[in-house]
Amino acid sequence: MKSTSLLALALPALAAFLPAQTPDHLVGITRNVPNLRHVSHAPCMPLGQCPIPMPNSAALPPWVGGTAWDPTRSGAWVTNGLLLAKVDDACGMQCPPMPVPTLGPAAFLTGLEVVEGLNELWMIDSTFILHRYTNTCPPAPLGVCILGGPIVIGGVTTGIAVDELQGIVFTSVATFPGGPSRVLVSQLAAPCIVISQFPVPACVAAFGPVLGLACDWGNQILYATDGIGTVAMNYAFVAPNVVLLGVNCCPPIAPALDPMIGLAVRPGRATSVGGPCANGSCPACPQIHSLLNDPCLGNAAFSLALDQAPSTSIALLAIGAGPCMVPGPVAPPLCGPLHTIPFLGTLGPVLTGGGFGPCDGSAVFNLPLPVAPGLAGLVFSSQAVTVCLGGGVLGFGMSNCLSWQLQGN
């Protein structure tokens, strides 16, 4: 059963800037054998990959392909240049491969981006056309426009990324086989009108044409890949120009790897502490608390869940500022420690339903996340509390506690 509630925007001001979860990293589809590759930029290290059940791009031009992360389903949109699909971390299919109806007969998809605040999937193709679709399965077309403006350069588009907080769109343009790459800048409100551009730093001599872009706008980092290496560009937007403040390069440490032909930031995951407890009329249930998707700003579908909870009980979700406190105070009549300290408030109540077994109750707590300044990087904790009433006896149950961080990517 579901409950919709929104923490007051003033609450994040109380939260602590502390680590709450696993680090984010980069993901991208590969060219010759389609895989979703996970890459950590900071240590320049591949983290693993899984096979994507769709045709490869080996016989297509080198600039095709793209990757975007969808926080509403915790999955990656990928394209081989002609077909579009969405997979989860382990490459389980969330949306099967399909053609893009608005793609012209001589065009290839070269970049993807999910714009969370609009809940739209954007695609750029090799003829400089931007395609806007709903972020659904299957996506529904919303419109197209042709990238242009006062600045005209040669080459082909190879990637797209969006900074929703600053309201700017990045589109990479590269010349092949080994020419330079540039990034075109436009505004979110008019994404096809170029207002400025800047060159992609070469970083290392072997860095080739850019094949994908990704933006962590919470930290104002623009990532680019040539398929093997990656470059992280810290930036500031001083309208109409993007100013690079620092560049960090990850060289092609494994040039034999199948090259990535797209790039996206995959958000970090929540961390869990503590375990379930019960007293009174509440049965001893697993009471598993989890995030249903990613706490990315702009994700209006962000939800937190409680599963295998006492059936036909009342569930509340306690929210705290900062990560889960360990060990946490025990406050009777609760059955165990409350880890969400400093305590901000609760979501709910929600009826857990069930009734076929003592532990088949569940609850979903919806918390739409806005795109607003000052929120990216803030840390929260959450822990479910269930209230049971059986045989006239009051009881309480508690779940594990999750620490999670608001992210702008």
Given 203, 234, 266, which residue is the final one in a domain? 266
Per-residue model confidence (pLDDT) at position 152: 54
In a shared domain, residues 76 and 160: yes
Q: Pairing state of beta strands 361-366 and 2-4? A: parallel
Q: Which of 266, 285, 307 is the last residue of a domain?
A: 266
pLDDT band of 261, cuts 50, 70, 90: very high
**Section 172-188 average pLDDT:** 90
Residues 310 and 240 in one domain: no
CATH code for the domain of 237: 2.120.10
Structure confidence at residue 153 as a pLDDT band (50, 70, 90):
low
Evaluate if residue 262 carries a pLDDT over 60.
yes
Residues 247, 186, single domain; the answer is yes
Indicate the range of 3-12, 26-35, 147-156 predicted with least confidence: 3-12
Tens-place pLDDT, residues 281-340: 999 999 999 999 999 999 999 999 999 999 999 999 999 999 999 999 998 999 999 999
- At 177 the pLDDT is 81
362 and 241 part of one domain: no
Same domain, 339 and 362: yes
Q: Identify whether residues 72 and 146 lie together within a single domain.
A: yes
- What domain range is 251 assigned to? 25-266
**CA angle 24-28-29, nearest 5°?**
150
Of all residues in the chain, what percent carry a pLDDT higher than 70? 92
For the residues 25-43, what does the mean pLDDT come to? Answer: 94
pLDDT confidence bin for 3, thresholds 50/70/90: very low
Same domain assignment for residues 58 and 146: yes
| CA trace torsion 68, 69, 72, 77 (10° rounding) | 50
Query: Which pLDDT does position 255 carry in this prediction?
Result: 61
State pLDDT tens for residues 96-141: 999 999 999 999 999 999 999 999 999 999 999 999 999 999 999 9
State whether 241 and 377 are in the same domain. no
Radius of gyration of the chain (CA): 23
Q: Are residues 203 and 96 in the same domain?
A: yes
State the Cα–Cα distance between residues 46 and 390, nearest whole angstrom. Answer: 53
Do 159 and 233 lie in a common domain? Answer: yes
**pLDDT per residue as tens digits for the range 228-239:** 889 999 999 999
Whether 174 and 274 map to the same domain: the answer is: no
SS3 content of the chain, % helix, strand, coil (to 5): 0, 50, 50
Token pair 């529904």 in the structure block, residue? 140
| Distant-in-sequence, close-in-space partners of 152: CB < 8 Å, separation ≥ 6 | none
Domain end, chosen from 242, 266, 290, is at: 266
Rounded distance, CA 194 to CA 401, Å? Answer: 46
**Domains of the chain: total:** 2
The residue ranking higher by pLDDT, 50 or 355, is 50
User: Could you tell me if 85 and 203 lie in one domain?
Assistant: yes
Distance CA 202, CA 212 (A): 15
* Residue 34 CB partners (closer than 8 Å, separation 6+): 51, 52, 53, 54, 55, 56, 57, 78, 80
CB-CB contact of 240 with 194 (8 Å): no
Q: For all residues of the chain together, what is the average pLDDT? A: 91
Residues in contact with 136: Cβ distance below 8 Å, sequence separation at least 6, in sequence order: none
At 17, is the pLDDT very low, low, confident or very high (cuts 50, 70, 90)?
Answer: very low
Whether 344 shows a pLDDT value over 90: the answer reads yes
Tell whether the model's pLDDT for residue 16 goes beyond 90.
Answer: no
